């Protein structure tokens, strides 16, 4: 996984494309970027303070599965978990919100 530094964030779209944004992430910016009203977070790398910001209602709203984000999520889940991430996501450095 590519680590993001403080003051930047990476978008992972449902089509698999990734874009590095070189500006400090905010909740408002991320909501716009991933088209979400409500956000939730998943800590995906404790050592490097990386969190994945997801659309909290992506599955309920019928957004497609984000395969790359789902793989990242499953790497930190209980073995055998079959949870999925729906919609675009942002990978951010948790220190930007701390």
Q: What is the DSSP string of 53-93?
A: EEETTTTTTTPPB-HHHHHHHHHHSPTT-----BS-EEEEE
Distance CA 75, CA 5 (A): 21
pLDDT attached to residue 78: 74
pLDDT tens for the chain, 98 residues long, are 789 999 999 999 999 999 999 999 999 999 999 999 999 999 999 899 999 999 999 999 999 999 999 999 998 877 778 899 999 999 999 999 86
pLDDT attached to residue 98: 63
For the chain, what are the domain ranges?
9-96
How would you classify the pairing of strands 89-93 and 18-21? unpaired
- CA atoms lying within 13 Å on the CB side of residue 24: 5
pLDDT attached to residue 59: 95
pLDDT attached to residue 2: 83
């Amino acid at each position: 996984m590519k680590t993001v530094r403080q003051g930047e964030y990476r978008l992972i779209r449902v089509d698999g494309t990734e874009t590095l944004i070189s500006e400090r992430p905010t909740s408002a910016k991320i909501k716009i970027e991933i088209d979400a009203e409500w956000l939730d977070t998943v800590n995906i790398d404790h050592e490097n303070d990386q969190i994945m910001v997801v659309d909290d209602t992506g599955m309920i709203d019928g957004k497609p599965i984000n395969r790359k984000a789902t793989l990242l999520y499953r790497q930190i889940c209980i073995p055998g978990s079959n949870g999925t991430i729906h919609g675009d996501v942002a990978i951010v450095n948790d220190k930007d919100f701390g």
